[in-house]
């Protein structure tokens, strides 16, 4: 018998790390999925109306205005110049770019008009205003 061959009763000198790496990869994938699933838009209190419409389209861009006047494009805070530049890029890629404007009921009217003016200068004609349906009495 060779001296390199171990008998069945001798302890192992090395540790098999393959199951530990498998577990680490599974935990990494679960962490990535849970992190991306928890990203949501900015919450605002929408004004109420009687009529509602479904404006969900794959290329729709959402502009949100909070009650303190902060402007968000797809849940990312932007200045008016950044909004204009980013929407211009989206408009170049999709000439019929649909935009949804979601403003808090307490938002300043001036800020809403500034956003609409940006859309007008970029010739964005498909603009939807998000509201909540009023409760029927």
Paired residues of 127 in beta bridges: 99
Domain containing 78 — which CATH number?
A: 3.30.420.270
Phi, psi of 128, deg, nearest 5: -115, 140
Beta strands in the chain (DSSP E): 48-49, 61-65, 71-73, 76-78, 98-103, 126-129, 132-133
Report the pLDDT value the prediction gives residue 57, as an integer from 0 to 100.
46
Q: Mean pLDDT score of the chain, rounded to an integer?
A: 81
Q: Is residue 7 part of a domain?
A: no
Q: Is residue 32 part of a domain?
A: no
Q: Is residue 94 part of a domain?
A: yes
Q: Is residue 118 part of a domain?
A: yes
| Gap between the Cα atoms of 94 and 90, Å rounded | 6
Domain count of the fold of the chain: 1
pLDDT, one tens digit per residue, over 108-137 is 888 889 999 999 999 988 888 888 877 665
Candidates 41, 36, 32, 95; CA nearest to 70 is: 41
Q: Is residue 38 part of a domain?
A: no
Please give the residue that has the higher pLDDT: either 33 or 6. Answer: 33
Report the pLDDT value the prediction gives residue 75, as an integer from 0 to 100.
82
pLDDT, one tens digit per residue, over 65-84 is 988 888 999 888 999 999 99
Q: Is residue 5 part of a domain?
A: no
Q: Is residue 39 part of a domain?
A: no
Contact 59, 91 (CB under 8 A): no
**Domain containing residue 127:** 48-133
Q: Is residue 54 part of a domain?
A: yes
Report the pLDDT value the prediction gives residue 137, as an integer from 0 to 100.
57
């Amino acid at each position: 018998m060779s001296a390199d061959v171990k008998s069945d009763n001798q302890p192992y000198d090395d540790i098999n790390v393959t199951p530990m790496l498998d577990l680490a990869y599974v935990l990494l994938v679960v962490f990535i999925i849970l992190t991306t699933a928890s990203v949501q838009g900015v919450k605002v209190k929408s004004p109420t109306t009687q009529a509602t419409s479904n404006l969900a389209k794959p290329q729709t861009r959402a502009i949100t205005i909070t009650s303190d006047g902060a402007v968000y494009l797809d849940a990312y805070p932007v200045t008016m110049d950044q909004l204009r530049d980013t929407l211009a890029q989206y408009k170049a890629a999709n000439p019929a770019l649909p935009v949804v404007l979601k403003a808090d009921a307490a938002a300043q009217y001036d800020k809403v008009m500034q956003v609409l003016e940006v859309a007008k200068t970029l010739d964005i004609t498909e603009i939807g205003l998000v509201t909540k349906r009023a409760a029927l009495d």
